[in-house]
Amino acid sequence: MIIMYLGLDVGGTHTDAVIIDKSGVVAHTKVVTTPHNLLECISQAFKNILTGIDPSHIKRVNLSTTLTTNAIIENKCEEVGVLVSGGPGINPALYSMGNHYYVIDGQIDHRGTEITLLNLNQLEKATKKCRKKGIKAFAVVSKFSTRNPVHEQYIQQKLDDADFISVGHTLSGNLNFPRRIATAYYNAAVWRLYNKFSYAIEEVLRELGVIAPVNILKADGGTIPLHVSRTIPVESILSGPAASVIGTMALCNITEDAVMLDIGGTSCDIAMFADGAPLIEKDGIRLNTHNTLVRSLKTKSIGIGGDSAIKIDGNTVTAGPQRLGMSMAEGGQNPTIIDALNVIGTINLKDTGRSREGMYALEKKSGISSHNIAQQAITYALDIIYNEVMAMIDEVNSRPVYTIHEFLKGKVLKPKTIYLIGGPAKTLAHHITQRFGWNVKVPQYAEVANAIGAAVARTTVDIELFADTQRCRLLVPNLNVNIRIPQEYDVDNAIEDATNYMMQYLESIGVDEREREIEILQVYSFNMVEGFETTGKNIRVHCQVKPGILHQCRDILKI
């Protein structure tokens, strides 16, 4: 039986697709991204990649997309009703988000004990105001909902006519009230846009005869089934940079401290590897000015790419962060870094005459020779990349180093290798080498590495189990588990139960047995003391399926 994996990455400039089987990459394509209508370029990429291939051979489709990220950055999100109740020691009003934020009095403490009942009068007034405004998407968060979700569940019941409710305790087991509010808010804000997109994707694939399971890439480098992601679309944020990292891992044998640069048409994504493992944002990513609980690979995007527009102010030549279209060599109207590379002879891309025309027009305006403009623009872009890489290394070395596999105690990152991917990678490799003085490696298929990363990324899930032996309760918040346990329950029981709940969930969403590699990230056990006696234990177990590459796709692409 022929088994093929299809990966698609929607970037700011191009949409890439690949098909991989046991022999490696069997097909790849690159089409121009149409931001006003993503389905147009996605449909074209699917059609191109499936030319001459039996769609029944496609057994898995993985996507990464800029859709949710761009919606948040560009403030194109849906209006959300945010209903929040607090707990001891914090004022929920301090963490207001959106235009419809309501604090409902009521408190649950850190043990999960209800201290104060919800104020039903406030709740009724808030829901009426939201309905009057036509709001149909909601975020519901109480402070210690991971220890007792009763307030969130009650508010959820009172919103029975809503189209969607993002409920805080189902998003993460981590305790951080402000991050949970932001995560629930963004999850609701992109829900409708994301679901419209996800159903349209399935329709396009059906029309092309592809009936394989579809997954979406998450920020942590793993995937989740598309049908699961419909209730947690916030997890798809920053899936593009994650695809870059996984693609680089799939194509390169990385064992050392290293930097990844993914240079596209619009931006450059930077990531770090410590002893061959990518770094991770342990606590969650930051969106606009708000911290979230969305686990993510540690990446940084800067506004420098092949299509970055060149500008001159007096005698100063700069490039980016604006992209005003394609390079002039490719039909655009403004000189770009690609045009500069054409002018100095590094590349010979398409209409080089147009590149020279654009640079000469800048020469007439500024009095600086076109060759010098081109050289200064390239130098400026390289300096920006260099400075951002060095700043990121300094930032990493100023705090504990966490990778997708483990915490590296006392680790100091000292990279001297750059793995370079993206459309302009091969043409920029020499310039990057000169600027950094490091070893620069450009893998085969560097131009579609993101799509490869999407294709081979495995499904990942993380859960947290909480056990309170004094109250005889066990909770796994994001799986809605809340059961009674005996007082003699201990850490070994908790690890076993967490592993079993994870395995059951993975089976329920159809994850292959070979991909169910569960690792325990953290185990805590604290004695609870009243007076001078131990009255029970508070136990926490955090486990995950390791982000990484599908078992059957390992080592088939490395050079």
Instruction: Encode the chain (559 residues) as per-residue pLDDT tens digits.
Output: 678 999 999 988 899 999 999 889 999 999 999 988 889 999 999 999 999 999 999 999 999 988 898 888 888 899 999 999 987 778 899 999 999 999 999 998 887 888 999 999 999 999 999 999 999 999 999 998 888 889 999 999 999 999 999 999 888 877 899 999 999 999 999 999 999 999 999 999 999 999 999 999 999 999 999 999 999 999 999 999 999 999 999 999 999 999 999 999 889 999 999 999 999 998 899 888 899 999 899 999 999 999 999 999 999 999 988 888 899 999 999 999 999 999 999 999 899 999 999 999 999 999 999 999 999 999 999 999 999 999 999 999 999 999 987 788 889 999 999 999 998 888 899 999 999 999 999 999 999 999 999 999 999 888 889 999 988 999 998 898 999 999 999 999 999 999 999 999 999 988 888 888 898 888 888 887 676 677 788 899 988 888 888 887 877 776 5
**pLDDT for res 128:** 96
CA 335, CA 356: separation in Å to the nearest integer? 9
**pLDDT for res 8:** 96
With residues binned 3-state (H G I as helix, E B as strand, rest as coil), the percentages for the chain, rounded to 5, are: 35, 30, 35
Query: What is the strand order of the sheet 481-484 is part of?
Result: 481-484, 473-476, 462-468, 533-545, 518-530
Task: With both helix axes pointing from N to C terminus, report the angle between 191-207 and 177-189 in degrees, rounded to the nearest 10.
Answer: 50
Nearest to 268 by CA among 377, 385, 185: 385
**pLDDT for res 111:** 77
For residue 387, give every residue at least 6 positions away whose Cβ sits within 8 Å of its Cβ, in sequence order, or none.
Answer: none
**pLDDT for res 282:** 83
Q: Give me the half-sphere count of Cα atoms (radius 13 Å) on the Cβ side of residue 403.
A: 20
Q: Give me the half-sphere count of Cα atoms (radius 13 Å) on the Cβ side of residue 210.
A: 27
CA 207, CA 199: separation in Å to the nearest integer? 13
Amino acid occupying residue 367? G
Query: What is the strand order of the sheet 58-64 is part of?
Result: 24-32, 14-21, 4-10, 58-64, 214-217, 223-225
- Domains of the chain as residue ranges with CATH: 4-73+193-237 (3.30.420.40), 80-189 (3.40.50), 253-304+381-444 (3.30.420.40), 462-557 (no CATH)
CA 369, CA 147: separation in Å to the nearest integer? 67
Task: State the pTM of this model.
Answer: 0.90
**pLDDT for res 558:** 64
**pLDDT for res 524:** 85
Q: Give me the half-sphere count of Cα atoms (radius 13 Å) on the Cβ side of residue 52.
A: 6
Query: Do 247 and 219 form a contact (C-beta atoms < 8 A)?
Result: no
Element (H or E) spanning 462, and its range? strand 462-468
| Token pair in block for residue 517 | 């590699």
CA 379, CA 319: separation in Å to the nearest integer? 10
**pLDDT for res 532:** 64
